[in-house]
Structure 1
Amino acid sequence: MKRLSLFICFVLMLSNVFSQKSNDEVLLHIENQKITKEEFQRIYDKNKINMSTGEITPVDEYLELFINFKLKVYEAEKLGFDTTKSFINEFEGYRKQLASPYLVDEEANKKIIKEAYERMQLEVRASHILIKLALDALPVDTLAAYEKAMDIRRRILKGESFESVAKGSSDDPSVKNNGGDLGYFTVFQMIYPFENAIYNSKIGEVTKPVRTRFGYHIIKVTDKRKARGEVKVAHIMLTVPRGTTSEIEKQKRQLCNELYHRAMRGEDFSELAKEFSDDKGSARNGGELPWFGSGRMVEEFEKASFDLKTNGEISQPVRTGFGWHIIKRIDRKDIPPFEEAVDEIVRKINKDQRSEVALKSLVNKLKSEYNFKEETDNLPVTYDTIENVYVLKQVYLLDNANLNKTLFTFLDKKYLEKDFALYVENNRGNKDLKPYNYKMLYDEFVEEKILEFEESRLPEKYPDYKYLLKEYHDGMLLFEITDQKIWSKAVADSIGLQKFYNDHKKDYKWDERWKGSVYYCSNENTYKAVSNIIGKRSFGRKITNDDLLKQFNTNEEVLKIETGTFEQGKNEAVDYFVWNKEESGINKQYILINGDKISSEVKKFNECKGLVISDYQDYLNEEWIKSLREQYNIKVNSAVLSSVK
């Protein structure tokens, strides 16, 4: 974590995403490496304001810092830091993160975000019947499942009860308890195709079969209402397991009623929850539950929670399938404005199936842009419309087969059968593949190659991306080589560190200090008694501070003692009594001190080791920069520099 934080600091220091007109004028040469004015301008624009003073750093002054940075990066590249496996893997991870926002169909993405927010305004209730079907099912099995779903739909449309048909036909295990009723829910709570079917249907409508990864669904929308937002509650739960005797059920209910009345009389709800609630996870927090909206809790609990009108209101005992509950409303919030909700919507979209919609839209646009062409006669999988099955070309099952036919082309790129065969081998895992699996892998292969090529073009299409990627690259190299040459070296080089301390001892001195104890007395009697005792002996033994505390603080605390070595500014009482500084809010009337001044002296190594390491790192850095400037040829184009603003 420390390493990551340090690296991020470097990237933030260097990063800049201002859009500017391209300018390829060369500002700087380090050996044969060219650095353009645009690259320098971007970083200078980001960092030219001194965060401490608010002043703008002059261009020529910042250029010297920039040269130092570039020299270190050049040295790292020369030493091969960018060729290590760890660097390549880490940089690849950052590259993919940076590329991700550019590999989106912005128009389609905006549409999906808007759709999600509009759906947030409604809560829907629906029932469904599931006909299970694997994603890789054979076409003949898919057709059979579809026809079965259509038969079920026709029965319902003719007047049979949805619930009774669901109980007799649905493959959803929960149907025996709910008759197919899913209750109320809202956007992101169901898989996207299922959600689409419901939000695009009217109340009372029975949909045609809807395909999801689970199979086919027949769905009936039973209600739609305005979204209620979210509520935060605390609860006390008394569990009543299935099979509990009526006597125990009665005892639980009586206890719940008793706790309800205690809470209503003003007893602390949080403390009651901690003592009595069987939900131990929430009991530790006084019964508090996370924020929730529709579809997140069992119906009885959800209804009781949303029926509470004001914060602090407590419900009467509520029975659910888990037992008895008393619920206290803590807070409630409505659906937030779009500007506040959009970040959370985007986060959910990125984890949701609907993100594939924007991606596929981008791929289709790129296919058109790149003049994508498929050789249909060479495709690995075809569909037999007579037998209703996918058919794999047998050549893919032969050893040493000639797989040199072209599958598809775009721009100057050509992909052959053998390229796809290698992709299959690398992505098949351990399972035996059916023709349908080959078809899915082929579609993924095409998509990957299109996006791979687009990603390779991002630097030329988007200057912001190009420079941000460059800054991450250089920032990583700077971190690695600085750690090796400066940070870790300064800590590990005990001999060099000790020598540096010995050579610079005069820089590590204590100012005048005072060592002793400060006695804070609460009243005059204690003050007088303590002043007569401190520093004295009892039966030949010096009276200690612990002795004083035991003697005076028998019933109540009338004496406090602070002992240590104090510099000026560290203790107001010491400042006042020892160095005659103006008092600042202290009541000196009942304060005593007992100790001695310590003259200025050199700090021992272990008293200033952290500071010595920091100074030693600065020293190593200065020496390193000096050697780099002597080692490498640096040329600055003054005419170009004068145009930097």
Structure 2
Amino acid sequence: MKNFLTVCILAFFSATTVFSQNKKEVLMTIDSKPVYASEFERVYKKNLDLVQDESQKDIDGYLQLFIDYKLKIAEAQAQGLDKEENYLKEFSKYRDQLSRNYLFEDKVAEELAKEAYERGKEDINASHILIRVDYEALPQDTLAAYNKLKGIRERALKGEDFSKLAKTYSEEPGAKETGGDLGYFTVFNMVYPFETTAYNTKVGEISDIVRTSFGYHILKVNDKRARMPKISVSHIMISDKKGARTFNPEERINEIYTMLKQGENFESLAKQFSDDKNSAIMGGKLKPFTKGDLRAPEFEDAAYALKNPGDLSKPVKTDFGWHILRLEEKFPMETFEEQKPELEKKVNEGDRSKIVTSATNKKIKEKYGFKKEESYLPFFDTYLGDDILKRKWVMTPIPADQDKTLFVIGDKKSTYSDFAKYIEERQKTTRPYKLKETLLVDFYDEFETEELKDYFKERLEYENEDYAAILNEYRDGLLIFDVMDKNIWQKGKNDSIGIQEYYNKTKQNYHWKQRVDADIYAATSEVLAQQVQKMLGEGKTAEEVKAALNTGDKVNVLITPGVFEIDQRELPNNIEINKGVSKIYPSNDSFVVVNIKEIIAPGPKSLEDVKGKVLSNYQNDLEASWMKSLHSKYKVDINKKTLKHVKKQLK
């Protein structure tokens, strides 16, 4: 899509905030709706370097780009896309994420991140015994579970085998087989109270009893070890998912491994044969990682098994294909400052967030003022029917004389009715409750937190210029995407007749270059390449050449058959296109001979061959026609005096 980059750039545009509007200098109106000069000036300065079309870099050219963007926003609103449920949900999600940067400015998140960093220097191997009891259990059931585990703990402290106790008594699924063994884990792998107990217990010792949402636990810490530092490796990958391959992927990776053991250059083989194109151009080199970063445990295990830079792994199978790894470098542990952004993100998104939320709620209350009215429990205990426990409660209107204020934040009141509406919606996604009182307490805490945060976010958009600008950028960026998707991208994608007609009109634009049906022979030496030439000249087949030259465990020749365009990566540079056996071409430390079996003249590509490109061009045509209609639909009036002033300011 030709103009998709333009859309992405303009997704940063909308900065219409109360701050810019206060300047009251109107640059233009769209159907009498004002657009302020301050917004245009801001986005012009911010995005000028991203604009690739030189004609749009002067102010008049950029103004046309800006007008097109504003017309798309106007049309999105006219089509009601800003009222769509998915749009509102996505925007709310982003607002929640963005506001975290402002809500959690206090030291709590940073302190928890520092704690996580220190803990993360170690992996812990532990076993545990669990006696299940949920937070809603009756007091006598909770006490019984606690006393049961207390008795088990006393037996463990006296020396009874922990694994046997776990197999006998633990209520964790699978405990009879595992004996409670959790293996190695690190920070953020377990719920926070459990993690804290694990890190505070010495090796060989039995922990105190700890309560989590699962029940009561005791742990035995079996070992603590230093966490693995990041490493850097290079790899050669042969995919086994690349359609109908003309060779066996496992056989190919073993051939390459043999060549490496013979002393062939790793980077050259990666560039020539690796199916990981992104790393191939770098000689196979990957970004540094640690265990758990990749979605390929077999790959990680093989990488960490390498001891010294330069060491090679044997071929390794993963879900992506076959790999050969070479260790490049081992790195020291990252500093706290380097890990801080990721750690704070995990703190705010995990169960530690409850600690942060509590501190944040306190901060908001102190900033804006908070007053809680009389207890809501007596009223709601009667008002809510028992069907709330089945998640089927239907709200009935609360009479005005009973609809009291629940609490007040700043100048905003939250009423019993507001809380009742929240309960009705929240019950649909809650876990089952046994007691109405427990549900009410949990829901009230959630509701109060949500109302506090919503009030903070509402005020934040008026109080913080940067926040308001970023939020509006995202708000309008979502609308741009939705309006383009509805009117251009999906319309084009689903219009099979229109795509066919467009292809028929423009098929002269889609042509194959000259191609060859050929076998490409990459030999490890010029002498071997000469032997390949000789054997091919004698009429030997590719399999016969391979059988003769790849003897025993030694791989001297790799053969890649296929149909190739003349400038395709697999062919040597500047190859002479003649039918038959080519001369020898040096390439990436190999010597290449090409047996051209057929020369295929340039010709038109079928629609199937170029469907993606045709679709993109068709959508560009649809967009051009659509934009023309928007310019006719909306009246745009530019204030020439303001534009002149803007030009002076920007110069």
**Which bracket does the TM-score occupy, shorter chain normalised?**
0.5 to 0.7
AA at the equivalent of 1:230 = M
> Which residue among 461, 465, 481 is the counterpart of 1:459?
461
Secondary structure of the residue that 1:136 maps to in structure 2?
A: coil
Tell me how far 1:63 sits from its aligned partner: 1.7
How far apart are residue 447 of structure 1 and its match?
1.5
Q: 1:367 corresponds to which residue?
A: 365
Distance 2:7 2:81 in 1: 17
Q: Secondary structure at the match of 2:49?
A: coil
The answer on whether the counterparts of 1:406 and 1:414 sit within 8 Å (CA) in structure 2 is: yes
8 Å CA contact retained: 1:125, 1:223: yes
CA distance in 1, matches of 2:309, 2:197: 37
Residue by residue over 1:440-493, the C-alpha shift from the partner in whole angstroms, topping out at 9 and shown as x without a partner, is 222222222212222333322333333333233323332333334434444555
Q: 2:448 aligns with which of 446, 449, 471?
A: 446
Which residue of structure 2 lines up, in the alignment, with residue 353 of structure 1? 351
Q: Distance in 1 between matches of 2:532 and 2:307?
A: 57
Question: Residues of 1 paired with 2:201 and 2:546: CA distance?
Answer: 78
**1:641 and 2:636 correspond:** no
Alignment CA distance shift 1:150-1:630 (3 Å): closer
2:622 alignment partner in structure 1: 620
Matched, 1:68 2:73: no
**Matched residue type, 2:439:** N
Paired position in structure 1 for 2:322? none
Task: Tell me what 1:84 maps to.
Answer: 84
In structure 2, C-alpha distance between the alignment counterparts of 1:223 and 1:393, rounded to whole Å: 48
Task: Describe the SS at the equivalent of 1:230.
Answer: coil
Any conservation in 1 of the 2:348–2:356 contact (CA below 8 Å)?
no
What residue is the counterpart of 2:479 in the other structure? 477
CA contact (8 A) 1:134 1:214 kept: yes
Equivalent residues in 2 for 1:281-300, closer than 5 Å: 285=298, 288=301
Cα distance between partner residues in 2 of 1:309 and 1:527: 42
Aligned partners of 2:414 and 2:197: how far apart in 1?
Answer: 38
Could you say if the C-alpha distance between residues 529 and 28 of structure 1 is closer, same or farther in structure 2, counting changes exceeding 3 Å?
same
**2:210 touches 2:218 (CA, 8 Å); kept in 1?**
yes
How far is the alpha carbon of 1:44 from its aligned partner? 2.8
Q: CA deviation at 1:84?
A: 3.3
Please, which of 157, 161, 167 is the counterpart of residue 162 of structure 1? 157
Q: Once structures 1 and 2 are overlaid, which stretch shifts more, 623-632 or 360-369?
A: 623-632
Q: Which residue of 1 aligns with 2:256?
A: none
The one-letter amino acid of 1:81's match is: L
Further displaced range: 471-480 or 161-170 = 161-170
Letter in 1 for 2:157: F
Contact 2:381 2:436 in 1 (8 A): no
1:379 equivalenced with 2:376 (yes/no): yes
The alpha carbon displacement at 1:372 in A equals: 1.0
Partner of 1:338: 336
Deviations 1:567-625 (A, max 9, x none): 799977997568xxxx9958999999898997x98888777766555444433333333
| 1:244 alignment partner in structure 2 | none
Q: 1:245-644 residue pairs with structure 2 within 5 A?
A: 285=298, 288=301, 335-376=333-374, 378-380=375-377, 393-394=381-382, 396=384, 403-428=402-427, 431-490=433-492, 549=541, 556=548, 576=576, 585=585, 613-637=615-639, 638-642=643-647, 643-644=649-650
Conserved in 1, the CA contact under 8 Å of 2:126 and 2:222? yes
Map of 1:14 onto structure 2: 11
Instruction: Give SS of 1:373's match.
Output: strand
State the match for 1:30 in structure 2: 30
Q: Which deviates the most, 66-75 or 204-213?
A: 204-213
Give the Cα–Cα distance (whole angstroms) in 2 for the partners of residues 59 and 335 of structure 1. 49
Letter in 1 for 2:44: Y
Q: Distance in 2 between matches of 1:551 and 1:212?
A: 64
Secondary structure in 2 matching 1:72: helix
Aligned partners of 2:136 and 2:434 also within 8 Å:
no
For 1:464, what is the secondary structure of its paired residue? helix
Q: Provide the rounded CA distance (Å) in 1 between the counterparts of 2:132 and 2:565.
A: 77
Flag the 1:79–1:405 CA change in 2: closer, same or farther, 3 A.
Answer: closer
For 1:420, give the aligned amino acid: F
**Structure 1 residues 185 and 550, CA gap change in structure 2 (3 angstroms):** closer
Paired AA for residue 451 in structure 2: K
Instruction: Give deviations 1:39-90, integer Å, cap 9, x for gaps.
Output: 3344333431157699992233222111111112212221223333443344
Shift of 1:177: 11
Aligned AA for 2:646?
L
Contact 1:230 1:333 in 2 (8 A): no
Residue 117 of structure 1: aligned partner: 117
Output the CA distance in 1 between the equivalents of 2:448 and 2:186. 35
Aligned residue for 2:226, secondary structure, equals coil
- Which residue type is aligned with residue 110 of structure 1? E
* CA pair 573-353 structure 1, distance change in 2 beyond 3 A: closer
Secondary structure of the 2:624 match is helix
- Give, in whole Å, the separation in 1 of the partners of 2:206 and 2:8: 55
Cα separation, 2, equivalents of 1:141 and 1:231: 45
Counterpart secondary structure, 2:57: coil
Q: Is the 8 A contact 1:230 1:332 kept in 2?
A: no
Distance 1:188 1:589, change over 3 A: closer
Q: Cα RMSD over matched residues? A: 6.3
Structure with the greater alpha carbon radius of gyration: 1
SS of the residue corresponding to residue 49 of structure 1 reads: helix
Alpha-carbon contact 1:129-1:166 (below 8 Å) kept: no
CA distance in 1, matches of 2:433, 2:52: 61
Matched residues in 1 for 2:27 and 2:62: separation? 13
Letter in 2 for 1:438: L
TM-superposition CA deviations, 1:198-252 (whole Å, max 9, x none) = 76789999998754435567889x9997x5223899xxxxxxxxxxxxxxxxxxx
Letter in 1 for 2:228: E
Maintained 8 Å contact 1:136/1:437: no
Distance, in Å, in 2 between the alignment partners of 1:206 and 1:367 is 42
* 8 Å Cα contact 1:522-1:559 kept in structure 2: no
Superposition deviation, residue 364 in structure 1: 1.0
Q: CA deviation at 1:516?
A: 9.2
- Residues 549 and 559 of structure 1 are in contact (CA less than 8 Å); yes or no, is this contact kept in structure 2? no
Q: Is the 1:99–1:455 Cα contact (8 Å) retained in structure 2?
A: yes
Q: Distance in 1 between matches of 2:410 and 2:561?
A: 79
Report the CA distance shift for 1:8/1:166 in structure 2 as closer, same or farther (over 3 A).
Answer: farther
Are 2:201 and 2:207, in contact at CA under 8 Å, matched by a contact in 1?
yes
- Give distance in 1, aligned partners of 2:593 and 2:203: 80
Residues 283 and 123 of structure 1: CA distance in aligned 2, closer, same or farther (over 3 Å) = closer
Number of equivalent positions = 527
> Could you say which residue in structure 1 is the equivalent of 2:193?
193
The AA in structure 1 aligned to 2:120 is M
Three-state SS of the structure 2 residue aligned to 1:27 is strand
Separation of aligned partners in 1, 2:209 and 2:506: 82
Which amino acid in structure 2 is aligned with residue 405 of structure 1? Answer: K
- Write the mapping of 1:114-153 to structure 2, written as runs, cut at 5 A: 114-121=114-121, 133-138=133-138
Which region of structure 1 is more displaced relative to structure 2, 136-145 or 434-443?
Answer: 136-145
Structure 1: distance between partners of 2:180 and 2:646: 73
Secondary structure at the aligned position of 2:350 is classed as: coil
| Aligned mates of 1:208, 1:568 — CA distance in 2 | 70
Cα gap change, 1:530 to 1:416, in 2 (>3 Å): closer
Q: Match of 2:454, as an amino acid?
A: E
Question: Whole-Å Cα distance in 2 between the matches of residues 476 and 348 of structure 1?
Answer: 26
